[in-house]
Amino acid sequence: MDNLGELLHGFGIAITLPHLALMVIGVLLGILVGVLPGLGAPNGVSLLLPLTFGMQPVSAIILLSSMYWGALFGGSVTSILFNIPGEPSSVATTFDGYPMARDGRPTTALATAFGSAAFGALIGVILITFLASWVAQVALAFGPAEYFAVYFLAFASFVGMGGAAPIKTVVALAIGFAIAAIGIDTVSGSVRLTMGVDELVKGVNFVVAVMGLFGIGELLVAVEEEFHARAVSSKIEWREVFRAVGRLPRHSVALLRSAAIGCWMGITPGGPTAASFMSYGIARRFSRRGRYFGTGEVEGIISPETADHAAGTSALLPMLSLGIPGSATAAVMMGGLMIWGLNPGPMLFVDQKDFVWGMIASMYVGNIVAVVLVLLTVPVFAALMRIPFVIIAPLIVIICVVGAYSVSNSYLDVVMMLGFGIVGYLFKKLFYPLAPLVLAIVIGDKAEDAFRQSMLMSKGSLGIFFANKLVTCLIVAGIVLLLLPLVLQLARLLRKPAPSIHETTVQNTARETAREKVII
Amino acid sequence: MGRTSTLLLSAAAIVLAGTMPALSAWQPQKPIEFVATAGPGGGTDNLARAVQNIITKHKLVEQPIVVVNKGGGSGAEGYVYGKASAGDPYKVIFGTSNAWQQPLVSKVAFNYTDLTAIAAMAQDEFLLWVKQDAPYKTAGDYLKAAASGEFKMGGAQSKDTDEVLTRMIEKAGHIKLTYIPFKSGAETAVQLAGGHLDSHVNNPSESLGQWRGGTQRPLCVFSPKRLPQGAKVTATEGWGDVPTCVEQGLDIKQYEQPRTVWLPGKVTPDQAAFYVDLMKKVQATPDWKDYIEKTSQVDTFLTGAELDKFIKEDLEHVKQVAGEQGWLVK
């Protein structure tokens, strides 16, 4: 337990008055940039970066990472209250968080989200503390083929979920892939799908797409359907905050499963976005109340939030030990490390013990500070829901327009955002699912790069996806998840004559499926 | 919170520093935007932020400076933005040699002639890296091994500096390599550490941590003479101990990547002169030396006719390689 001694030493560094003050400042700033869509953690951290040049590296990283925690929490606020995800990784939180908030339970939704997020982060830090050296080795095993397998798994866990017809899911995925392909292609270096618009060479930014699809799209639907919608009457109830957090242990299976998915994706490094989507998809399939997902289910909030934060936290480990950033924010912080004169890589743990363990200890303390602060703000944020729709609607438009513009100071982004708003509205009206579209926009190009890199390596042979145990397991798991809905349907068809099967629970059906597959 | 008050004080000082004597005919009258043609955290971004930091710290300009990242399309986003801002002396674009290389090989809507070249401020060196436990000890061994089997060479981006160098190695060493493009040098380094590649040609700073950590080592440097000794990187070796590729029988004398600074097109000579002067002042500070040393780059300063000559020569060379590979688009 060498690590434990180091950690205690780290706590000695982290728990000092100036550092605690830095954490509070960082977290508050983070909540602010997280709540304002379009700003987001990566931008917030890069804005703050120059201020840290004069600091001790360990103080600087404490400030920046606290801001990261704050932003991760803050990003969930707008997802839940206004259906505008501030970060790619909080998209999945909107699926159940927003319906629950609209249903008059914003306090419950926010408290549940924050509580499970804190749990995820905690598991992530514990993992970093004890498995640092082992984890570093796992990440090294990931070549292009393994990356593709992870992305494939994320897609597979999502296809077939949701009430939408499978063909509509595929259409949404395909449109998402096309949007992800816009801009310069990594593998060939050529410009694709810019349709004569020079500026499109930069590609479509996620924030622009999501603010249109979710924020504006939802607004259009709301304007049409509930023009006379009154504000949701939500009482400011402190007790509900604690009650919601207190109820979390009842969902321990979902919590643990999501934390495991999150840690795995953070280390490998599939990233928090893929983790939250995958966790939501899997929870939907295996939860007893899976069929109610999308209407404001507690586990529909717990699953993506826990996985998001577990992945976000453990993503810092590959950054420290290998110099691969697991997320955009980690990439900015890594730039900071270099400027402070530290070189991320395996030697950091040997050369810079104070820095590494001070930072890890600050992750424990920083997360506790963050969750306390953020829970205190719940009633304030929940109160926003009482503002009448006629006032909040223009505000949402303003937030979306400013957010889209601030991504790269470009009017084209604002126009595109509004265009995506119309797409989002049409998708809703025609019952096309938005989630696969967003997932494909976010990780579609990464999956494509990984696939084509693998093909270059194997000279076009698909055998590379079955070349070792790791990649084979991932691909097989993906295929199983992909075929599961199909097999389930088949099973249902075959069993139709037997009426007793109709009322079996999801778990039973899953077991049936396993047997069914053996038969097939 | 002494630190915060110091920061606030220095911020106030910047705002109030209106007493600087006019050093050149033109002076900026409003905030200046530094455009990094790369995402946050990369080498180009680090340069822009380091220059911003030095200018602010030494109060070289009385106007505030903000850094924005426009790294979409392998940097094309930033250059296109520069082209669209013609005549605006408040946008300074930080890039690399891809300002003139990218338009050759891909249909991007800019050319380096749309911009005003200010300076090339630092040269990044290239080295040939292999996995730590690879059997070959010299570039000669590497070429021999690569001749038999087919080696996988990784690099950042496609048809960019890394791939151009790879094709040069193929030609000089009479071998054939499979080039696999990744998003960045850092990603490539990790792939080599994991044994998914046989080699790559990263800049020193991109693989420094990995070399120290014992996951990969440099075989040779693509430079006419060995690098300055500097501090030891591993227990026994420093940059100066890496032999040149020519020494080891891989006949590529020099391959470097300049970090470049541009203004939009159609700015006045006065305005360009102001920034040339500013960058010279930045380079004279101890903080710049520190930055150069920490990122293991070579300090150079090319401007005016010298820079023009450098660009033209590099362009000719890349055109030749790109032509042989069939990459040229126009």
The shortest CB-CB distance from B40 to any of A42, A54, A144 is to A42
Q: Are residues B210 and B277 in the same domain?
A: no
**Average pLDDT value for residue range B7-35:** 66
Q: Are residues B100 and B209 in the same domain?
A: no
Q: Residues A459, A130: contact at Cβ < 8 Å?
A: no
| pLDDT higher than 50, residue A119 | yes
CATH number at residue B76: 3.40.190.150
Q: Describe the crossing of helices B2-16 and B43-57 by its angle, rounded to 10 degrees.
A: 80
Q: Are residues B105 and B70 in the same domain?
A: yes
Q: Which residue range forms the structural domain that includes residue B195?
A: 127-254
Which chain B residue's Cα is nearest to A146?
Answer: B196
Beta-carbon separation of A50 and B49 below 8 A? yes
Chain A 65-104, residues with CB within 8 Å of chain B CB atoms: none
pLDDT in tens, B282-318: 999 999 998 888 778 889 999 999 999 999 999 999 9
pLDDT in tens, A26-54: 999 998 888 876 667 777 787 787 677 77
Which of A63, A405, A408, A448 to mutate to probe the B interface, most B CBs <10 Å? A408
Q: Considering only CB atoms, which chain A residues are within 8 Å of B68?
A: 408-409
Q: Considering only CB atoms, which chain A residues are within 8 Å of B6?
A: 54
Q: Residues B264, B278: contact at Cβ < 8 Å?
A: no
Band (pLDDT 50/70/90 cuts) for residue A508 is very low
For position A175, what pLDDT does the model report? 95
Q: Are residues B206 and B219 in the same domain?
A: yes
For position B50, what pLDDT does the model report? 87
Question: Which of B229, B254, B279 finishes a domain?
Answer: B254
| pLDDT higher than 80, residue A468 | yes
Which chain B residue's Cα is nearest to A203?
Answer: B72
Q: Are residues B261 and B169 in the same domain?
A: no
Alpha carbon of B87: minimum distance to chain A alpha carbons (Å):
18
HSE, CB side, 13 Å, CA atoms: give it for residue A203: 24
Return d(Cα B261, Cα B279) in angstroms, integer: 9
Q: Are residues B182 and B245 in the same domain?
A: yes
B80 in contact with chain A, both atoms CB, cutoff 8 A: yes
Q: At B178, which helix (H) or strand (E)?
A: strand B177-182
Single pTM value for the model: 0.82
Which chain A residue's Cα is nearest to B161?
Answer: A189
Which has the closest alpha carbon to A382: A66, A151, A36, A77?
A: A77
Q: Are residues B73 and B38 in the same domain?
A: yes
Q: Considering only CB atoms, which chain A residues are within 8 Å of B77?
A: 199, 201-202, 408
A196 in contact with chain B, both atoms CB, cutoff 8 A: no
Which has the closest alpha carbon to B155: A409, A16, A10, A186?
A: A186
Q: Are residues B169 and B198 in the same domain?
A: yes
Both tokens of A313, joined, read 């936290």
- Is residue B59, in this structure, part of any structural domain at all? yes
List, edge to edge, every strand of the sheet that includes B127-131: B177-182, B151-156, B199-200, B127-131, B216-221
Q: Are residues B83 and B226 in the same domain?
A: no
Range with the largest mean pLDDT of A115-119, A150-154, B65-69, B205-209: A115-119
| pLDDT higher than 70, residue A496 | no
Beta-carbon separation of A184 and B39 below 8 A? no
Domain boundaries, chain A: 2-467, 481-520
Range with the largest mean pLDDT of A268-272, B210-214, B250-254, B278-282: B278-282
Q: Are residues B50 and B145 in the same domain?
A: no
Query: What DSSP string describes B251-306?
Result: -----EEEEEEEEESS--HHHHHHHHHHHHHHHTSHHHHHHHHHTT-EEEEE-HHH
For position B28, what pLDDT does the model report? 94
- Is residue B36, in this structure, part of any structural domain at all? yes
ipTM score of complex: 0.83
For position A255, what pLDDT does the model report? 94
Return d(Cα B299, Cα A184) in angstroms, integer: 31
A409 in contact with chain B, both atoms CB, cutoff 8 A: yes
**Amino acid present at A419:** G
Average pLDDT, chain A: 83
B176 in contact with chain A, both atoms CB, cutoff 8 A: no
Alpha carbon of A330: minimum distance to chain B alpha carbons (Å):
9
B132 in contact with chain A, both atoms CB, cutoff 8 A: no
- Is residue B109, in this structure, part of any structural domain at all? yes
**Residue environment code for B77-108, b if the CB has 16+ CB neighbours within 10 A, otherwise e:** bbbbbbbbbeeebbbbbbbbbbbbbbbbbbeb
A197 in contact with chain B, both atoms CB, cutoff 8 A: no
Both tokens of B147, joined, read 């001749």
Question: Which of B202, B221, B254 finishes a domain?
Answer: B254
Q: Describe the crossing of helices B98-105 and B161-173 by its angle, rounded to 10 degrees.
A: 80
The shortest CB-CB distance from B41 to any of A53, A186, A334 is to A334
Which has the closest alpha carbon to B71: B100, B90, B50, B96?
A: B96
Which has the closest alpha carbon to B252: B139, B95, B124?
A: B139
**Amino acid present at A28:** L
Higher pLDDT, B204 or A422: A422
Q: At B117, which helix (H) or strand (E)?
A: strand B115-125
Q: Are residues B233 and B153 in the same domain?
A: yes
For position A491, what pLDDT does the model report? 85
Dihedral of CA atoms B201, B205, B206, B209 in degrees, nearest 10, equals 120
Q: Are residues B86 and B171 in the same domain?
A: no
- Is residue B155, in this structure, part of any structural domain at all? yes
Report the domain count for chain B: 2
Band (pLDDT 50/70/90 cuts) for residue B17 is very low
Chain A 493-512, residues with CB within 8 Å of chain B CB atoms: none
Higher pLDDT, A508 or B164: B164
